[in-house]
């Protein structure tokens, strides 16, 4: 909030007296100190000197990109942040374009003409290995239906990997293929109904999108290709896509934590993969603010005999409301029926990391518990090799423990599961474990079911907790392959 106030104060934060300048690489490199720091992001140069003391990651993080193009570093850490809005008063200007040869320029103009005329459906492929597995699509129609068929060339395709939004004649379909995503995005030739049908042939990787025509017109084309249509790129290189979701319930979990339920639009097909997170985007005091949260189940299932049928129409988020938290306070003020923008899923956790595990250990602090819910549910339901699952849950006080009753019931119900609560500030009379994460504390908990059992330890919480936990695990002899640290 202090930064927002400063940006609205009228001060010349960019230091160029209101005029935008063209910046060469040589000029950018001159501004590389804490007292005079310029950074380029996606071709635009910002004077981040006044932002130094407000940056959550500290001066050191910003200085890594001082006087250089920081786009790659920015994308690695938090590409979801709307820097254009946050730093608009710090804009110095645009990077000077490098000269190109005349023949290359003419070729580029020719290709652009083709694309704009809808004749060239651009395919962006980042490396040769991805080229061989590039998906393709086709479409056909009947009097009442439009059917789009996507050939992903990937086995084990499932509903979690298919995201479709269709609203106001705009169709956007994204297929997640490991670290890549394939996108179809078209301004449809005619209007369609909001509800549509997705069919997935899992073994051959074929996806069908069946759209209902609003009239019986014969379509001459599927529609006008949009910018990202028919592209296949690394997921981290793609801009996040958001849709507006309506708040339908808000339930108290503890004294400072609530379970929010947001309803997806009727025109959206969207399942969030286990262990992945989404971003919430909201306008606060005229500035776009974005934060990551990990969706979870509305409750902890107690019967794992059959795969559970998860609610796919709603997104559940367990969020701690901080007294001085700009974003969480704004979320808490939302009324039933209000909307917020929610992104497509992000994250590098894969179910395959759990599928052959014998011993699963979950280390969670506070709301770092949220990604553990789906991981635990998946392991207890579908991992046939699982022998033990243990949650070591760190909190300050008993009142801070999330879903304590549900966790204790699950431990009684399923003999494979065990939960240990560890408090850093326990009240008098607490008989359980106390302290903070350490090698000595963990060594008392982490026991393999057999000497050479396959183990996975997942850890999530505030950054210092996660960093300390990873180091403790290394000290105890766990390999990198036996650990997964959630970062959001």
In this predicted model, what pLDDT tens digit does every residue of 73-116 receive, in sequence order?
A: 887 777 667 787 788 889 998 888 765 444 444 344 444 433 44
Answer yes or no: is pLDDT of 478 > 60.
Answer: yes
**Top-confidence range, 49-63, 77-91, 236-250:** 236-250
The neighbour count for residue 60, using CB atoms within 10 Å, is 9
Answer yes or no: is pLDDT of 403 > 80.
Answer: yes
Q: Please check whether residue 431 lies inside any domain of the structure.
A: yes
Per residue in 284-294, pLDDT (tens digit) is: 888 888 999 99
Per residue in 413-444, pLDDT (tens digit) is: 999 999 999 999 999 999 999 999 999 999 98
Interval 291-310 mean pLDDT: 74
Return d(Cα 305, Cα 29) in angstroms, integer. Answer: 61
Q: What is the pLDDT of residue 320?
A: 96
Q: Any bridge partners for residue 358, and if so which?
A: none
Domain final residue, candidates 197, 220, 237: 237
Pair 358, 481 in one domain: yes
Q: How confident is the model at residue 405 (pLDDT cuts 50, 70, 90)?
A: very high
CB under 8 Å, gap of 24 or more: what pairs does 296-301 form?
296/370, 296/371, 296/373, 296/374, 297/373, 297/374, 297/377, 298/259, 298/261, 299/406, 300/373, 300/376, 300/377, 300/403, 300/406, 300/407, 300/410, 301/377, 301/381
Say which range, 45-49, 127-131, 241-245, 465-469, has the weakest mean pLDDT. Answer: 127-131
Q: Is 414 exposed, middle or buried (0-12, 13-18, 19+ CB in 10 A)?
A: middle
Q: What is the mean pLDDT of the chain?
A: 87
Pair 191, 315 in one domain: no
Pair 327, 369 in one domain: no
Interval 388-408 mean pLDDT: 97
Structurally, the chain folds into a number of domains equal to 4
Q: Please check whether residue 103 lies inside any domain of the structure.
A: no
Q: Are the CB atoms for 48 and 63 separated by under 8 Å?
A: no
Q: Any bridge partners for residue 441, and if so which?
A: none
Pair 461, 356 in one domain: yes
Q: Please check whether residue 108 lies inside any domain of the structure.
A: no
Q: What is the pLDDT of residue 103?
A: 41
Q: Is 352 exposed, middle or buried (0-12, 13-18, 19+ CB in 10 A)?
A: exposed
Pair 85, 171 in one domain: no
Pair 371, 473 in one domain: yes
The neighbour count for residue 296, using CB atoms within 10 Å, is 24
Interval 171-194 mean pLDDT: 93
Q: Which two tokens stand for residue 264?
A: 């997806």
Could you tell me the CATH number of the domain that includes residue 411?
Answer: 3.40.50.80
Pair 214, 289 in one domain: no
pTM to 2 decimal places: 0.75
> Integer distance in angstroms from the first to the last C-alpha of the chain?
22
> 98 or 279, which is more confident?
279
Answer yes or no: is pLDDT of 378 > 90.
Answer: yes
Answer yes or no: is pLDDT of 299 > 80.
Answer: yes
Answer yes or no: is pLDDT of 409 > 70.
Answer: yes
Alpha helix (H) ranges present in 117-183? 128-131
Could you tell me the CATH number of the domain that includes residue 164?
Answer: 2.60.40.790
Task: Give whole-number Cα distances, 134 to 154, 158, 222, 368, 461, in Å.
Answer: 10, 18, 21, 36, 37
Q: Could you give the maximum distance between any two Cα atoms of the chain, in Å?
A: 80
* % of residues, the chain, pLDDT over 90: 64
Q: What is the pLDDT of residue 98?
A: 61
Q: What is the pLDDT of residue 83?
A: 80
Could you tell me the CATH number of the domain that includes residue 257?
Answer: 2.40.30.10
Domain final residue, candidates 237, 252, 283: 237
Residue span of the structural domain in which 48 resides: 2-95
Interval 217-246 mean pLDDT: 91
User: Rounded to 5 degrees, what angle do the CA atoms 416, 421, 422 make?
Assistant: 135
Return d(Cα 409, Cα 394) in angstroms, integer. Answer: 18
Per residue in 332-375, pLDDT (tens digit) is: 999 999 999 999 999 889 999 999 999 999 999 999 999 999 99
Q: Which two tokens stand for residue 236?
A: 């981290």
Closest CA to 241 of 274, 208, 265: 265
Closest CA to 234 of 180, 178, 175: 180
Q: Are the CB atoms for 68 and 97 separated by under 8 Å?
A: no
């Amino acid at each position: 909030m202090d930064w927002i106030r400063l940006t609205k104060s009228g001060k010349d934060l960019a230091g160029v007296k209101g005029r935008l300048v063209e910046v060469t690489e040589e000029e950018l490199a001159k501004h590389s100190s804490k007292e005079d720091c310029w950074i380029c992001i996606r071709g635009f140069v910002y004077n981040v000197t006044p932002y130094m003391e407000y940056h959550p990651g500290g001066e050191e993080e910003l200085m890594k990109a001082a006087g250089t193009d920081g786009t790659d570093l920015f994308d690695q850490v938090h590409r979801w942040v709307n820097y254009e809005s946050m730093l608009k008063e710090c804009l110095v200007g645009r990077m000077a374009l490098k000269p190109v040869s005349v023949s290359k320029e003419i070729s580029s103009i020719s290709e652009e003409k083709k694309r704009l005329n809808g004749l060239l459906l651009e395919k962006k492929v980042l490396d040769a290995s991805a080229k061989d597995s590039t998906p393709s699509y086709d479409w056909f129609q009947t009097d009442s239906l439009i059917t789009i068929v996507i050939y992903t060339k990937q086995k084990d395709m499932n509903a979690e990997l298919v995201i479709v939004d269709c609203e106001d004649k705009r169709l956007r379909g994204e297929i997640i293929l490991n670290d890549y995503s394939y996108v179809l995005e078209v301004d449809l030739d005619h209007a369609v109904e909001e509800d549509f049908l997705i069919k997935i042939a899992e073994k051959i990787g074929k996806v069908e999108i069946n759209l209902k025509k609003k009239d019986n017109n014969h379509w001459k084309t599927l529609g006008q290709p949009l910018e990202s249509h028919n592209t296949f790129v690394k997921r981290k290189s793609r801009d996040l896509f958001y849709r507006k979701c309506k708040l339908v319930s808000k339930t108290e979990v503890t004294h400072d934590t609530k379970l929010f339920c947001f309803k997806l639009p009727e025109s959206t097909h969207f399942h969030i993969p286990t262990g992945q997170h989404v971003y919430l985007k909201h306008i606060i005091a005229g500035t776009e603010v974005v934060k990551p949260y990990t969706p979870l189940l509305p409750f902890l299932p107690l019967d794992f005999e059959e795969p559970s049928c998860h609610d796919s129409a709603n997104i559940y988020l367990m969020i701690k409301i901080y007294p001085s938290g700009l974003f969480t306070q704004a979320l808490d003020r939302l009324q039933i029926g209000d909307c917020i923008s929610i992104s497509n899923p992000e994250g590098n956790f894969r179910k395959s990391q759990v599928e052959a595990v014998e011993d699963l250990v979950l280390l969670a602090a506070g709301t770092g518990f949220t990604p553990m819910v789906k991981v635990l549910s998946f392991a207890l339901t579908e991992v046939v090799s699982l022998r033990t699952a243990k949650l070591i849950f760190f909190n300050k006080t008993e009142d801070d423990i999330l879903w304590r009753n549900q966790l204790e019931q699950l431990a009684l119900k399923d003999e494979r599961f065990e939960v240990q609560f560890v408090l850093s500030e326990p009240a008098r009379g607490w008989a359980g474990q106390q302290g903070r994460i350490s090698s000595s504390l963990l060594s008392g908990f982490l026991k393999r079911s057999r000497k050479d059992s396959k183990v996975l330890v997942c850890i999530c919480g505030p950054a210092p907790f996660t960093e300390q936990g990873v180091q403790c695990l290394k000290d105890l002899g766990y390999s990198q392959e036996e650990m997964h640290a959630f970062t959001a």
